A and B are shown apart, each in its own frame.
Chain A
Amino acid sequence: MNMNINMKMKAAVVVFPDSNGDRDAKRAIETLGIPVRFVWHKESSIEDFDLIVLPGGFTFGDYLRTGAIARYSPVMEEVVRQAKRGAKVLGICNGFQILTEAGLLPGVLLRNRGLLFLGRDVWLRVENNATPFTSAYAQHQVIRLPIAHGDGNYYIDDEGYKRLEGEGRIVFRYCLPNGVAPNGVAPNGVAPNGVAPNGIAPNGAKGDVAGIVNEEGNVLGLMPHPERLVEPILGGQDGRGVFESLLNAVCGRVN
């Protein structure tokens, strides 16, 4: 891998009060030789980045709603500006919740259906590998990533869901280890009657949705944690593809 080319990519990880995935995200990106700067949420003017990560955590104690307060941090105006400019924005877990509150992604993350906080590994199917976040995966590849959230129950009205589905913007779905949902809905998640499948998402997410992109395809939010599974010493590398894809999207194929 050509580290010199990778050094040209500029990545930021935003740090909010009660972020807890910030260091993991920074390290995950750095394993690919990409320099990362921590950006404090109070910064209202930042240099242009190729990638901005909103990490996991429980910003502002999850008060009011998850992500509802962080969404008004000064840095968010910059995140919106750079997203409009075409920068890649990756919201992981609480970062996904912040992106929906900020209106960069549609829908909302409700309390888990069973009310319990869920911390465990889940299986995911890559539903669209033609995005800057998933090109390193095969279409319909099944990967394993950890989740750690109390509010991951993705909800959007039926019209919005059909739109996401139709535009290929559902990027990750929860699935069984063999890639199939128990109700036989596979591989594109559309049930025979055209409605969202009532599937196996541990949190109750509509249509088993685990991650979506915006209309332009440069903003991804997902509940599972790819940054926690990029090195073999941590038990696997299934999350590495997200960061490899981003590197390829920004710098071209370099490895």
Chain B
Amino acid sequence: MKHTAFAAISAIALTAAGVAVAEPQAEVLHWWTSGGEAKSVAVLQKEFADNGGTWTDMPVAGGGGDAAMTALRARVLSGNAPTAVQLKGPAIQEWYEEGVLADISSVAEAEGWADVLPEQIAEHMKCEGAWCAAPVNVHRVDWIWANKDVLEANGIEMPTTWDEFNAAAEKLQAAGIIPLAHGGQAWQDATVFETVVLGLGGPEFFQQALVDLDPEALTSDTMVAVFDQMRTLRGYVDDNFSGRDWNLATAMVMNGEAAFQIMGDWAKGEFLAAGKVPGEDFLCGSTPGEGFLYNVDSFAMFDVKGDDKKAGQDLLAELIVGPSFQEVFNLNKGSIPVRTDVALDKFDDCAHLSSEDMTASAEGGALLPSYAHGMALRGAQAGAITDVVTAHFNSDMSSADAVQMLADGVANSM
């Protein structure tokens, strides 16, 4: 209360002193608190300050964003939403339906976002046609990472089909190497699952099953085959995988204990941080099959009162999509710029591959949202699918039972 009074008085004082333009204010709620991520946010903070804005940082760590969402809920219910919140995928529309998001179309149109963002990704940033969020980066989820020395020593190429992968895995297992480094956490099981769905079913099937939730696709023979492949993959994972964090799995690939890991391109950050060089120490490739699964981080803009806050919101949106921030941020984070017109000279080979595949997939209709990372479905539906995937992967459930549970679970989550 005291604070508000103080702010009000200083605002009056400033007006009296003849400051005509409201000073941009932004309170930003995010959960980028670990090493590389914190560095990336600091970049945005600095740019914001350089443009005359006042940034109020509101980092809420913990639970992969769960803690931040709880804080957000409390703030929204008390009628005091932050200016911008790290939100992604259908969660943006979910909050829009609660009637608390702002319209930033004026900035988006002035900056020509529609021309520089891939169409599929731009759709996620719109609420009933109006822009309500600003995209930050594109993470690719369907990556397979490999230890180059291990592959060469065993005469294995990067697999391009799941059959090739299985054959390679058998060979590695015979040589006493763990074929697949994996951490037994539900979201990691889901990550592997969706790459198998994409690989075995193709982009069209992925769309039907994990985006449109078509019951026929969910119970189809293709889905049974996907669960069969998951069971096969379970055999390529070491016995001690339960509860392992993803970065520990990445370390297993790094030190040659394991050959492959299926994980989004944040894993590249781990390799680079350990001083490994792409193409020399480790290899990156898309998981078997065609298509591109994206995981786009973004900031949703909440409805705030006061010219200074609105000005801050507009400035923030402009900077986030601006080319300079896109480059610096993504170099720090391991992802690629969401703008297609940013030069990639400073980026590594994996990022180039990612960018080329994104452009090609966007044209072929194979640019798809990741379900495991909350881009394709709302929390309740995605959670219902993950429950089945992880229950199947961690037990001896048959594929037929899993498919039935999948259809029932999805129906029950509506």
Partners in one complex: no
